[in-house]
Amino acid sequence: MTSSAPTPVAGSAAKLIRCLLPDDGTDRRLLRRLRDQQGITRANSTSCRGVSILRDATTRRGKLPEPELARLVTVIVDADRADTLFAFIYAQAHIGRPGGGAITMAPLAVATSFLMPADVPNEPGETVGSK
């Protein structure tokens, strides 16, 4: 029995940018701007709970602080565009404001690009280029 080496997945060096944002619609606006202004299609937003990320955690002695709803946005970008897109995301999501969230970037071993087919509709009530 002969074994063949697995075929490598085509891809390129990439970075993962993660943002923890307030649950106030900032994530939706950010994803729309990434798609419309930067052509980014490898991004996602999911609901999560944050403790002491968006605001100081205060609580009584012996009690855990109350978590608050937040949004975790993940974006995969080509390594050569990563610094520019990091700055774009920071500015567009207003992360520098009080309670604006946090942003991190880390390298990925490889990521595969894909293009959305031209006939895929936008989300209901949304048009290309809407802000």
**Structural domain count of the chain:** 1
The reported pLDDT for the residue numbered 99 is: 85
Domain of residue 29: give its range.
12-54+67-110
pLDDT 10s digits, 34-68: 999 998 888 999 999 876 665 566 667 877 777 78
Looking at residue 13, its pLDDT comes to 83
Distance, in Å, from the CA atom of 52 to the CA atom of 4, rounded to the nearest integer, reads 51
3-state helix, strand, coil in the chain (%, to 5): 20, 30, 50
Residue 112 pLDDT > 50 = yes
Going edge to edge, which strands form the sheet with 102-111?
Answer: 43-50, 68-78, 12-22, 102-111
Q: What length is written for the chain?
A: 131
pTM: 0.72
Say what the pLDDT of residue 115 is: 65
* Residue 89 forms part of a structural domain: yes
CATH classification at residue 46: 3.30.70.120
Contact 67, 20 (CB under 8 A): no
Q: Does residue 38 sit within a domain?
A: yes
